[in-house]
């Protein structure tokens, strides 16, 4: 099983040289720490940064320089600042090529739910609905099951949706899954020490297992 950093590390392998990437709150934020040398990417923060850098050194925090998670951040060389409308023009216009975000549930047809639990919790969708409706490539980073041990990898989402038919890949603490255009989770890789049987047991949606499933290579 992977921890959050492990999930982030595995997702970092999906990031391609020259991509503009939006990282959601939580596990996705950690992905920035694992981008290999030589892969040039720029991180977009939807509150108005392109070329977001690491957290500031202590004492150098600036209230006017935060990311979409409201954390203090810095800028990389060549960064740009802009307003929210311009930011979502970049997102909606598919100039941001890769979106990595968390989810409460993902369905075998690529639907995602991550903003509301009726009657219990409503944080709002923030920029997630724009992001999942727009980017060509959307990767979900999440735990395979919830705290009650129930699968989050489902035939159909039970919670209010954030987007439909949009998620292309899911990386969990147990597996890497492609979502096929015709529906279904295709098992690509197992997390270290996790068996195919365990993944089958933890996956409620249609799982496609073909041939030998390799263990993730986390270098």
Q: Please select the residue that binds another protein; options are 3, 16, 36, 83, rule is CB under 8 A.
A: 83
215 catalytic? Reply is no
Other residues' Cβ atoms within 10 Å of the Cβ of residue 152: 22
Minimum distance between the CB of residue 215 and another protein, rounded to whole angstroms?
30
Q: Please select the residue that binds another protein; options are 26, 160, 183, 184, rule is CB under 8 A.
A: 160
Residues 120-159 that bind another protein (CB under 8 A): 120-130, 133-134
Residue bearing tokens 């989770």: 185
Tokens of residue 121, six digits: 């919790």
Q: How far is CA 164 from CA 63, 112, 160, in A?
A: 36, 7, 11
Residue of 16, 42, 46, 58 marked catalytic: 46
* Stretch of 36-44, 172-180, 181-189, 199-207 lying at the interface with another protein (CB under 8 A): 36-44
212 Cβ neighbours under 8 A, 6+ residues apart: none
Other residues' Cβ atoms within 10 Å of the Cβ of residue 218: 13
| Size of site (CB under 8 A) for another protein | 78
Q: Does 28 bind another protein (CB under 8 A)?
A: no
* Stretch of 39-47, 98-106, 178-186, 192-200 lying at the interface with another protein (CB under 8 A): 39-47
> Rounded to an integer, what distance in angstroms lies between the CA atom of residue 141 and that of residue 169?
9
Q: Which is nearer to another protein, 85 or 197 (CB)?
A: 85
Other residues' Cβ atoms within 10 Å of the Cβ of residue 188: 17
Other residues' Cβ atoms within 10 Å of the Cβ of residue 210: 8
* Stretch of 4-12, 64-72, 196-204, 205-213 lying at the interface with another protein (CB under 8 A): 64-72
Interface mask (CB under 8 A) for another protein, residues 89-118, using x and -? xxxxxxxx--------------x---xx--
CB 178 within 8 A of CB 186: yes
Catalytic annotation, residues: 46
């Amino acid at each position: 099983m992977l921890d959050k950093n492990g999930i982030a590390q595995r997702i970092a392998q999906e990031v391609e040289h020259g991509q503009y990437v939006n990282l959601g709150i939580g596990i996705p934020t950690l992905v920035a720490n694992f981008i290999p040398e030589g892969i040039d990417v720029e991180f977009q923060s939807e509150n108005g940064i392109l070329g977001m850098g690491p957290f500031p050194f202590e004492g150098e925090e600036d209230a006017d320089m935060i990311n979409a998670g409201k954390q203090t951040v810095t800028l990389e060389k060549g960064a740009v600042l802009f307003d929210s409308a311009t930011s979502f023009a970049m997102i909606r216009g598919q100039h941001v090529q890769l979106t990595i975000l968390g989810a409460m549930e993902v369905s075998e047809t690529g639907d995602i739910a991550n903003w509301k639990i009726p009657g219990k919790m409503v944080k709002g969708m923030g920029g997630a609905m724009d992001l999942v409706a727009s980017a060509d490539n959307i990767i979900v980073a999440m735990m395979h099951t919830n705290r009650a041990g129930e699968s989050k990898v489902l035939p159909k989402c039970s919670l209010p949706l954030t987007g439909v038919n949009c998620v292309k890949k899911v990386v969990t603490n147990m597996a890497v899954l492609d979502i096929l255009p015709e529906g279904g989770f295709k098992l690509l890789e197992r997390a270290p020490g996790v068996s195919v049987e365990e993944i089958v047991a933890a996956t409620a949606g249609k799982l496609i297992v073909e041939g030998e499933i390799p263990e993730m290579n986390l270098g």
